[in-house]
Amino acid sequence: MSVSLILLNDTLRLHDNPLLHAASGRKAAVVILNKAAFFGRQYGLARANLQRLQQQLALINELKAALASQQIGLITLFGNTVDCISQLTVQLQATALYCAEPVAADECRAIQQLAGQLKVIQLDCNSLLGDRLRPDLHDLPHSFTPFRKQREPLLAVSEPLTSLLNAADWLSPAATEPCNRVFAALLQQYQPLPQSAPVGESAALARLEYFIWQGRHILHYKDTRNQLLGSDYASFFSAYLAKGSISVRWLWQQIAAFETQVAANESTYWLKFELLWREFFRWQFRKHGARWFSKGAVKGDVDFTAPRLNCTQHAAFKRWCHGDTGVAFIDANMRLLNQSGLMSNRGRQNAASYLIHDLGIDWRLGAAYFEQRLLDYDCASNWGNWAYIAGTGNSGERQFNVQKQAQHYDPDGAFSRRMLQAAQP
């Protein structure tokens, strides 16, 4: 009997996951830990630090346990997508691959390559618009506001997929375990984050419940979202969205349900507004592909030569990375990133602006450093926002006056003092 491979990379959830309901017949659930993304380097920097690797291992482990509780196995592989899927295709005599339609150019290329070997069906699992409301990339508005005005009115997001999975359709845990030896060794070696730092689907759904329904923090989101430190000033949905631990369409529906059942105000709308920024960058990445990694991104000539730094810039870049520039507001934000793997949106904007416009350093180095560190790293949101601030994206450049920003957002310097003191021995 032919087998369909269901690749769950970037869709690490059971709830509202179209991939789990897509194919008929015999199915094998698969996740690949992409070697280049977690062990590769770009511009001399590691693409992921240990914390990001451990987070990914923990997420995959959690999905494996969730599937196992329904008697469904998960094949966990390590390597590059094309090689892993090619080998598995032969091993299982697979005839079809179902996967989430990627956004990053290298992932799109890998999926296209596989189309020569087996039938490939891509579903848009992690966008608001999805396959049903897919825009024509040729007519995609170039900047955010026209995109939002054009697409937002269409967003009547469909009901989530909740039907039960039939274990008999899937390869069982016992059948998939022999494929998991390499991954098991990785788990041993790199010890995923302890359970005290939950990262997967159950934590994502609990966060949604808390931020929107129980805590009702959504009602004040627009007033608090520019804060720099804390646990409820913003939604903290980004890491879950980046990994696909939560469905963005379910999230949108829940905000809409809250607006109907409890209250709608500027803040509830603003959370949707920010989700539209995420959406905007996703479609821009699908449109322009690898161009986003060119020095001028979507503007000017294509130039993929690596950023070059003179000695002074090299030293300045290192100081920026370590949070040691001497500008307290920047250093505090960078130290927060280095310690926690996260930074507020306000902090990210300022840290990026400072590197690009004050230090005169190629924006791609900053984006690469954020990629290495951010636990919510998302290719389109990260590189898109960096390009936006550099002025190489879909608008003119955005330069922040860091001193003024510090006075406005950290008026008594409490945030900066706290972060800088915390770093002292």
The CA radius of gyration of the chain, in Å to the nearest whole number, is 22
Nearer Cβ to ligand FAD (20/242): 242
Q: Which residues pair with 170 in a beta bridge?
A: 27
Nearer Cβ to ligand FAD (334/352): 352
**Residue from the set 21, 26, 225, 287 that interacts with ligand FAD by CB under 6 A:** 225
Task: Name the nearest CA neighbour of 201 among 8, 383, 66, 19.
Answer: 66
Find out whether 409 is annotated in a ligand binding site: no
Residue 236, interface with ligand FAD (CB under 6 A)?
yes
**Residue from the set 122, 126, 127, 235 that interacts with ligand FAD by CB under 6 A:** 235
Nearer Cβ to ligand FAD (176/238): 238
Amino acid at 170: W
The number of angstroms, rounded, from the C-alpha of 266 to the middle of its chain's C-alpha atoms is 26
Nearer Cβ to ligand FAD (75/336): 336
User: Quick check: 298 and 394 in contact, CB under 8 A?
Assistant: yes
Residue 122, interface with ligand FAD (CB under 6 A)?
no
As measured in angstroms, the least distance from the Cβ of 96 to ligand FAD is 31
Residue 66, interface with ligand FAD (CB under 6 A)?
no
As measured in angstroms, the least distance from the Cβ of 121 to ligand FAD is 26
Residue 217, interface with ligand FAD (CB under 6 A)?
no
**Residue from the set 369, 377, 400, 415 that interacts with ligand FAD by CB under 6 A:** 377
Tokens describing residue 3? 């087998």
Residue 400, interface with ligand FAD (CB under 6 A)?
no
Residue 275, interface with ligand FAD (CB under 6 A)?
yes
Distance CA 278, CA 212 (A): 19
Distance CA 212, CA 274 (A): 15
Amino acid at 37: A
Task: Name the nearest CA neighbour of 161 among 290, 40, 13.
Answer: 13
Residue 68, Cβ neighbours under 10 Å: how many? 15
Find out whether 378 is annotated in a ligand binding site: yes
Residue 227, interface with ligand FAD (CB under 6 A)?
no
Residue 321, interface with ligand FAD (CB under 6 A)?
no
**Residue from the set 114, 179, 241, 356 that interacts with ligand FAD by CB under 6 A:** 241
Residue 292's SS3 state is helix
Tokens describing residue 329? 């507001």
Number of residues that make up the chain: 425
Residue 124, interface with ligand FAD (CB under 6 A)?
no
Interface with ligand FAD by CB under 6 A: which range of 93-101, 121-129, 161-169, 269-277?
A: 269-277
Distance CA 406, CA 174 (A): 56
Nearer Cβ to ligand FAD (84/375): 375
The number of angstroms, rounded, from the C-alpha of 56 to the middle of its chain's C-alpha atoms is 12
Tokens describing residue 356? 């690009």
Interface with ligand FAD by CB under 6 A: which range of 77-85, 285-293, 341-349, 404-412?
A: 341-349
Residue 336, interface with ligand FAD (CB under 6 A)?
no
User: Quick check: 219 and 265 in contact, CB under 8 A?
Assistant: yes
Find out whether 376 is annotated in a ligand binding site: yes
**Residue from the set 285, 317, 369, 370 that interacts with ligand FAD by CB under 6 A:** 370
Q: Which residues have a Cβ under 8 Å from the Cβ of 59 and sit 6 or more positions away?
A: 12, 199, 200, 243, 245
Residue 84's SS3 state is helix
Interface with ligand FAD by CB under 6 A: which residues? 225, 234-238, 241-242, 271, 274-275, 277-278, 281, 344-345, 348-349, 352, 370, 374, 376-378, 381-382, 385-386
Binding site, annotated residues for FAD: 221, 376-378
